[in-house]
Amino acid sequence: MKKITLTGSLIVLFFLAWNFGASGQEVQTITTKGEGWFEGSDTLIGKDRAIKDALVKAVEQAVGIMVSSETRVQNFQLLNDEIYTKTEGYVQNYKIIGENQGKNVYEVTIQAAVATGSIKDKLDALGLFLKQVGKPRIMILIAEQNIGKTHYYYWWGLHRGEQADLTITENTIMDRFREKGFDLVDHQAQSKNITVTTAFRVAELNDRAAITLGKQADAEVVIVGKALARSLGPIAGTSMKSTQANVSLRAIQTDDGRVLSSGSEHAAAVHIDEVTGGVEALKKASAKISEKMMDDIINNFQKRVGATTLVQVIVNGLSGHEELRKFKNMLQGQVRGVEGIYERSFSGNVAKIELDIKGSAQSLSEEISRKSFKEFAVKVVGTTWNTIEIVVTPR
């Protein structure tokens, strides 16, 4: 009897786990109101329309959590066609918790279980996450060694006259990222702008070296790391050979050195030719780690929506701490979206401060540039993804 009970419990747990996974882990309960008009005494038509209106509003509210109001306005037709009019694909279930009938108007209040994970995937597929953060440019710096090679190959430091073609890993990752709408830097096209010093001609690039190379090509993010394929020998009793590939990468913002993603993936392949097997294993491992890194990068971008972003501001032209104090007060009181100010350093007439802002460095730069301040003349002289450099002159 105990065995039967245990088996039954395991079956129940299996189906519960399957149902949880099938329905998606990212589900949010949203309460909304809807209205529907009707003529005469046919209130059911009004009720149906009110429910439909409430479901659309529930999905709109879920989208609003992930996408800025500006992005929603600019892409309203796209969102309407692809998401708002397809509530059945995103609302798992709902219940009516209140209803009211007026003259020719029916009102309902519902609680809807909205699959925010599915909405997120759709927004991702539409490229809206990337659009609202300025579609950052990505540069790939991967050293690769396939089976049969005695050295790592890397485009920023060719070894023994090998041709400057793309590696298997780089090709695979570029294809996957482009499918998601990312903008990739072509290092071959940018080669005239990239200066590789002797110190950088190594397979194991540190973060600082990777950032330096990325900045020369105007990349906001660099993906740096290594990929290695090796043979595990023949499979017993056959001519087939087993191969394995390991790919280890990290994604870094070039302007502030922040690591957006890091990790390793492994994959195996079997082929009669071990070099071809190594190629297949590298492709599989590269595809797996691409998915992880894209998810991590997009999740980092998504956190910027509706939340504050830390932007570094380099201020030139201040004569002392009193002027710095006035300048900080001016930002806090007159620049929209500034939530907090943190002084990092002040030397000579250059101050480095960080601002907690609603928006991005670009939106802050535009806000400062179009304003006329009483205390200082302010000129923006440089911007990156997360930094702004300005020159101020006291009036």
**Whose structure tokens read 């996450």?**
129
Quick: pLDDT tens for 100-132.
Answer: 988 889 999 999 999 988 888 788 777 777 776
Q: Is the pTM of this model over 0.75?
A: no
Residue with the bigger pLDDT between 385 and 316: it is: 316
Nearest CA among 176, 126, 196 for reference residue 294? 176
pLDDT above 70 (res 2): no
Query: 286, 177 in Cβ contact below 8 A?
Result: no
Percentage of the chain exceeding pLDDT 70: 89
**Average pLDDT for 277-285:** 95
If you ran DSSP here, which 8-state letter would residue 192 be given? G
- Model confidence at 24: pLDDT above 50: no
| 144-153, 155-164, 378-387: least confidently modelled range | 155-164
* Lowest-confidence segment of 124-138, 333-347, 348-362, 376-390 by average pLDDT: 124-138
Residues 6 or more apart in contact with residue 80 via CB below 8 angstroms: none
Closest C-alpha to 188, from 165, 208, 218: 165
pLDDT band at 16 (very low <50, low <70, confident <90, very high): very low
pLDDT (mean) for 245-270: 93
pLDDT at 336 over 80: yes
* Strand segments (E) across 103-240: 105-115, 137-145, 183-184, 221-234
**Over 50: is that where the pLDDT of 362 sits?**
yes
User: In angstroms, rounded to a whole number, what is the distance separating the alpha carbons of residues 304 and 258?
Assistant: 14
Which of 196-200, 283-287, 368-372 reaches the highest mean pLDDT? 283-287
Q: Which pLDDT value is given to residue 164?
A: 44
Is residue 346 classed as helix, strand or coil in its secondary structure?
Answer: strand
Mean pLDDT along residues 29-55: 91
CA distance 389 to 380: 6
CATH number of 134-302: 3.30.160.150
pLDDT, position 17 = 37
pLDDT of residue 307: 59
Give residue limits of the domains in the chain: 2-129, 134-302, 308-394
Pair 220, 237: CB distance under 8 Å: no
Q: What is the mean pLDDT of residues 56-71?
A: 84
E-strand ranges in 240-334 read: 241-253, 259-271, 308-316
Closest CA to 283 of 247, 250, 231, 249: 247
If pLDDT is split at 50, 70 and 90, which confidence band does 133 have? low
Structure token pair of residue 368: 């400062």
Most confident of 158-162, 187-191, 221-225, 352-356: 221-225
CA distances from 135 to 144, 178, 285 (A): 27, 11, 26
Which residues, listed in sequence order, are joined to residue 243 by a DSSP beta bridge? Answer: 231, 269
**pLDDT recorded at residue 25:** 58
**Res 161: pLDDT:** 41
According to the model, what pLDDT value does residue 158 have?
Answer: 60
pLDDT band at 10 (very low <50, low <70, confident <90, very high): very low
The more confident residue out of 4 and 300 is 300
pLDDT at 134: 67
Third-level CATH fold of 2-129: Dodecin subunit-like (3.30.1660)
More confident of the two residues 374 and 384? 374
- 81 vs 278, which has greater pLDDT? 278
CA atoms of 190 and 197, how far apart (whole Å):
16
pLDDT in tens, 156-193: 876 434 444 568 999 999 999 988 888 898 887 777 77
User: What is the average pLDDT across 257-273?
Assistant: 94
CA R_g for the chain: 28
Question: How confident is the model at residue 18, as a pLDDT?
Answer: 36
2-129 against 134-302: fold identical: no
At residue 308 the predicted structure's pLDDT band, cuts being 50, 70 and 90, is low
Amino acid 236: pLDDT: 84
Q: Residue 246 corresponds to which tokens in the numbers above?
A: 């390991």
Rounded CA separation 314/109 (Å):
50
